[in-house]
Amino acid sequence: MICTGSACCVDEKKVSELSSHLNECSGDTGLYLLIEHCAVIIIVDSGLDFLGSPYLDAHGEEDSSLKRGVPLFLSKDRYNLINNIVLKANGPKVIGPTMRYALQNVVRGLN
């Protein structure tokens, strides 16, 4: 587990914890679940992509930032998408610019 978004684990080169962990442990691919935003970020070959939430409510909708307080369930389709992306390491090929735009608000404090 890494504590993204805080200054506690930023190294002397001002590299974020996501980037630092990726460089030290994961090579060129990393997958991160941002619990407080209920979202997944994948980094492949220095490309950052937002996968949305793997958890959906009873109506198949996300609860971004967990503000509605409704029960969420692991989506089999979302899980399979994430699994396929990780196994094939093709995140940037699957995720388009619309989802990248949504990521901007979440990631600003992480890098």
pLDDT tens string, the chain, 111 residues long: the values are 455 555 555 566 666 667 777 777 766 777 888 888 888 887 776 677 777 888 999 999 998 888 888 999 999 988 888 777 777 655 555 444 444 444 444 444 444
**The dihedral formed by the CA atoms of 91, 93, 99 and 104, expressed in degrees to the nearest 10:** 70
**21: Cβ–Cβ under 8 A, 6 or more apart, which residues?**
2, 30
Q: In the chain, where are the structural domains located?
A: 17-107
Is this model's pTM higher than 0.85 or not? no
Give residue 89's pLDDT.
56
| Contact status, residue 39 vs residue 50, Cβ threshold 8 Å | yes
